[in-house]
Structure 1
Amino acid sequence: MLADPHRYVLLEHFGAPDDPRGCHLDLLLEDGDSCRSWRLDAIPVLNGPAQSATPLPPHRLVWLDRQAAAVSGGRGWARRVVAGTYRGNLPAAADQPVNLELTGMAGIGMPEPVYVSLSDGLCRFSQSSRSQT
């Protein structure tokens, strides 16, 4: 059974001092009073290969509402790429696999819903929850 929907956002983050490429994406998933977060190199191709997903420290909930803003501590600039809601349960431990259903991805040309899988440092987007394994 899927849980009540919670919010997510995909942010484009420019100018982070620890990013040699100069630009990456942050995937933020609402989790109580903060957001669980991962760094992605690019938006995963739907039904394509998994890509690197680096866990990040929790982010503030305010990022779920911002369109664009400077990142605190002189760590660059972030702008919203897409946002929506997710269904599913985040595991209690941050290092456990995450499998969720995202809505709102139509804003970047993906069908509804998109299933996201985060596990072992990898992220994958698929059209079917069965494709996540």
Structure 2
Amino acid sequence: MELVSDRDWGDQPAGSVLNAHFWLLGRCHDRYAKHLDNPGRQRMPADFHVNSEAYMKLVAQAYDRTGEEDWDLRDGLYEVILSPLDRVDFASMDYLEPQLFLTSDSPHFAESQTLTIRTTLRDGTVTTLTAEINKPK
């Protein structure tokens, strides 16, 4: 997965891969699907914080119901993936949920721009998603 912008981000020219500037939030079911193992209660890292209140709410929701007491409900059978995008090892995840959330605290994220996310799947297929952010209406 590569995330680029149509404008410069500081000393990185438009079209540069910006993965190091973004956090990814997702859920992965590999431990349960492969080993029938509940990863147990997971907690949001105490030092994790981004400026977006909406993103922080999504992070808290992702960690909700991830413990042994949720085993019978089958709600806690995933691991939370909360990582800088450039550190996510997608190749090791077979059961990553398709709903992923990205954010950045970089001041460049607040600028008017088009972000493009290119995802290369295992079969070599490339999918592209673009999002216009902070564009005047």
Classify the TM-score, shorter chain: under 0.3
Query: Which structure has the highest helix share of the two?
Result: 2
Query: Which protein is bigger by CA-based radius of gyration?
Result: 2
Q: Which has the higher contact order (CA 8 A, sep 6+)?
A: 2
